[in-house]
Amino acid sequence: MAENNPLDERQVRLQKLEKIKAAGLNPYPEKFDKPNSLIQAKTLKEGTKVKVAGRVMTKREMGKIAFYHLQDLSGKIQIVFKSDKIGQEPFKFLSKMVDLGDFLGIEGKIFTTQKGEISVLADKYVFLGKALRPLPEKWHGLKDPEIIYRQRYLDLLMNEDSKRIFEFRSNFIRAIREFYWQENFLEVETPTFMHRATGATATPYKTHNNALDIDVYLRISHELPLKELIIGGLEKVFELGKAFRNEGVDPSHLPEHTHLEHYCAYWNFEDNIRFTEKMIDYLFAKLKISQKMDLVGRDEKTHQVDWSTPFKRINFIELLKHDTKIDIRKYTDAKSLLKDLKKAQIEFEGMSEMGLAGLIDNLYKKVSRPKIINPTILYHYPKYLQPLARINDDDKNIVDQFQLVVNGWEIVKAYSELIDPIDQKERFNEQLKAKASGEAEVMESDEEFIIALEHGAPPISGWGLGLDRVVALLTGQTNLRDVVLFPLLRPIEQENEKARKPENK
C-alpha cells in the first residue's frame, strides 16, 4: 500500500476546514476553561465530573462508540464517545471532521473501562483547533535528527523523552536561581551588544547599529560588566543569559549557548570551589537526582560518574606532566614546545600556527581532558592561559584558577580575579603582542575596564558555567543540540540546495 502524501492530506484537511466553517463553527475558538490536566483527571474518583482538553493522538471507532486519546503537557488519557450520549450529529462530526492532531475540549465523567483503563466518558465536546498537516508516524517515534532539530514542536509531541528533558531544563534553571537567592546573590542583566569582544578568547559575531552608526559585537562572555558591578558595590551578583561565539559546531560546542556567571566580593577561588560543591549538593537534592549515573564518554563507552562531593583535585601542570612527560613550566616560547611535542609524537590540528598558550590548551584537550570521568577540580594554571586571573602569591608563574571537568567536558571555569589595574593593562598588552605575532585565540583589550579597576576593586572571585553542558550531562545526552530547543541550523532552502549539488570528485 502506498503511503499517504502529506500534501494530499493537507488538501483533504483544508476541505474539512471549509466544511467546519460552513457549519457555523469556529475552527479556532478563543479559549477553553481547562481546570484539570489529563494526568490530574486520572487521579480522581469514578463519577467525578471533569473538563479536560488536549491534542488528538489516536482515534478508533467501533460503530456507535469511539475511543480517542488526548495529550497535554502532563500526559495522555482515553476519551470514550458514545453516540447516544453526545448525540448522533456530534458523533458523526467526530468521525468525519476530526483528525489526528486536532484539539478537543471535553466535559464528562471519570470511569474505568472493562479493560481497566481510567478514561473520561464524554458528555459533550468542543472543537478547539484544526491541524492542517498530519503528525509523524507515532508508533515508530520521530527519529530523523533534521526534523527533530528543525521542527522541535514535532519532537516534543512525538517523543516523550525529549519533552521530559526540556521540563528538566526548566526545573534546573529554577533551582539554580533559588540557590542563588538563598545565598543572597542579586540577579542582574548586562549588555548583549559590546564595544569590544572580550572576557574570553573566542571569535565574536559583529554587527552594526544604525542609530549610533557604530559596529558592535555580540558578547562572548558576561565577565567584565559583572566585575564592574562589583566595583560599584554590588557584592554578590549573577547573570543567566546567552553568549555567542562564532566558532565550529560539535557535540560540546554551539555558537549560541546559555551561560551562567557569578562574582563575589572578598572571595578567592578556593571559596568558589566550596561554593560549587555546595551548589551541586543542593541541585541534586532539590531535583531528586541520584549522584551516581551512567554516562557515555568521549570514547563512546559507558562510565559510571559519581557526583558526590568533595570533588577530586588535580594540579593542571602535574596532570600534563604525568600524561605527556612534558613539564610545561620549562617553556617560554611556542617554538621549543612544538619541537618537543613532535619529538613525543603528539600532534593536533593547527599546532604549527599556535602560540604557547594555544599549544598547551590544545595539548590538554587532546591528551588529558578526555580521560577525566568523575567530577574533578583542576587548578594551578600557567599565567599566560588566563589573562584575567590573579597571580598566585607563592608562584608568580601560575594563576589562582580552577576548572570543573566531568566526563571529558569542562563545565565550570573560575578564578581569583585580577584587580590590579597596572598588571591587567600589562596582560592585555601581552595579548596584543601575541595577536600581532599570529596567535589566533587572544583576549581583546578593554580600556574602559582598566579605568573601572583604577577606581578601586575589592578582592573578587568569578565563576562561569555552561548550562547546556550541565543539562546534557544530567540527562544523559551526548550532544548539546538535544538539550537546546532551537539549535542554529542552515535555512532549509540552503540545506536543500546543498543536498541537490553533486559531491566534488
pTM of the model: 0.90
Section 447-460 average pLDDT: 96
Query: Based on the domain organization, do 388 and 243 belong to the same domain?
Result: yes
Share of the chain above pLDDT 70, in %: 95
Which of 170, 175, 378, 365 has its CA nearest to residue 252? 365
Are 245 and 203 in contact by the 8 Å Cβ rule? The answer is yes
**Does the structure show a pLDDT above 50 at 177?**
yes
Contacts of 32 (CB under 8 A, 6+ apart): 53, 105, 126, 128
Q: Is 407 exposed, middle or buried (0-12, 13-18, 19+ CB in 10 A)?
A: buried
**Does the structure show a pLDDT above 90 at 247?**
no
Contacts of 204 (CB under 8 A, 6+ apart): 197, 217, 218, 220, 244, 245, 246
- Decide which of 112, 135, 158 is a domain's last residue: 135
- Tell me if 360 is assigned to some domain: no
**Does the structure show a pLDDT above 80 at 288?**
yes
**Does the structure show a pLDDT above 60 at 233?**
yes
- Tell me if 334 is assigned to some domain: no
Section 380-400 average pLDDT: 91
Instruction: Give the lowest-confidence range in 119-133, 433-447, 461-475.
Output: 433-447
d(CA 501, CA 505): 12
CA dihedral 413, 419, 420, 424 (to 10 degrees): 50
Dihedral sign of CA atoms 209, 215, 217, 223 in order: negative
Q: What per-residue confidence (pLDDT) applies to 137?
A: 77
Q: What per-residue confidence (pLDDT) applies to 499?
A: 62
- Tell me if 345 is assigned to some domain: no
Local confidence band at 187 (pLDDT 50, 70, 90 cut-offs): very high
**Does the structure show a pLDDT above 50 at 2?**
no
SS3 of 211, please? Answer: coil
Query: Based on the domain organization, do 388 and 284 belong to the same domain?
Result: yes
Query: Based on the domain organization, do 271 and 388 belong to the same domain?
Result: yes
CATH of the domain at 403: 3.30.930.10
Query: Based on the domain organization, do 196 and 93 belong to the same domain?
Result: no
SS3 of 250, please? Answer: strand
C-alpha grid cell, residue 432: 596584543
Query: Based on the domain organization, do 221 and 306 belong to the same domain?
Result: yes
d(CA 502, CA 505): 9
Are 298 and 473 in contact by the 8 Å Cβ rule? The answer is no
Q: What per-residue confidence (pLDDT) applies to 252?
A: 87
Residues 312-325 pLDDT 10s: 999 999 999 999 99
Domain count, the chain: 2
Are 418 and 407 in contact by the 8 Å Cβ rule? The answer is no
Section 461-479 average pLDDT: 96
- Tell me if 52 is assigned to some domain: yes
Report which DSSP code applies to 233: T
SS3 of 288, please? Answer: coil
- Tell me what percent of the chain is helix, strand and coil, each rounded to the nearest 5: 35, 25, 35
- Decide which of 135, 151, 183 is a domain's last residue: 135
Q: What per-residue confidence (pLDDT) applies to 360?
A: 94
Q: What per-residue confidence (pLDDT) applies to 139?
A: 52
Q: What per-residue confidence (pLDDT) applies to 496?
A: 67
**Does the structure show a pLDDT above 60 at 115?**
yes
**Does the structure show a pLDDT above 60 at 1?**
no
Identify the bridge partners of residue 54 per DSSP, sorted by sequence position: 104
Query: Based on the domain organization, do 19 and 110 belong to the same domain?
Result: yes
By residue range, what is the domain housing residue 219? Answer: 191-311+374-499
Query: Based on the domain organization, do 200 and 124 belong to the same domain?
Result: no
- Tell me if 144 is assigned to some domain: no
What type of residue sits at position 404? L
- Decide which of 135, 151, 176 is a domain's last residue: 135
Local confidence band at 197 (pLDDT 50, 70, 90 cut-offs): confident
Residues 320-374 pLDDT 10s: 999 999 999 999 889 999 999 999 999 998 898 888 988 999 999 999 999 999 9
**Does the structure show a pLDDT above 50 at 77?**
yes
CATH of the domain at 60: 2.40.50.140
- Tell me if 168 is assigned to some domain: no
Identify the bridge partners of residue 283 per DSSP, sorted by sequence position: none
Neighbours of 260 (CB within 10 A): 21
Residues 13-33 pLDDT 10s: 999 999 999 999 999 999 999
CA dihedral 197, 198, 202, 206 (to 10 degrees): 0
Query: Based on the domain organization, do 286 and 385 belong to the same domain?
Result: yes
Residues 369-382 pLDDT 10s: 999 999 999 999 99
- Tell me if 229 is assigned to some domain: yes
- 167 annotated as belonging to a binding site for a ligand: no
Section 53-64 average pLDDT: 95
Residues 200-229 pLDDT 10s: 778 899 999 999 999 999 999 999 999 999
Query: Based on the domain organization, do 123 and 212 belong to the same domain?
Result: no
Q: What per-residue confidence (pLDDT) applies to 500?
A: 62
Identify the bridge partners of residue 401 per DSSP, sorted by sequence position: 415
- Tell me if 256 is assigned to some domain: yes
Section 174-181 average pLDDT: 98
d(CA 302, CA 295): 5
d(CA 165, CA 110): 30
Local confidence band at 505 (pLDDT 50, 70, 90 cut-offs): very low
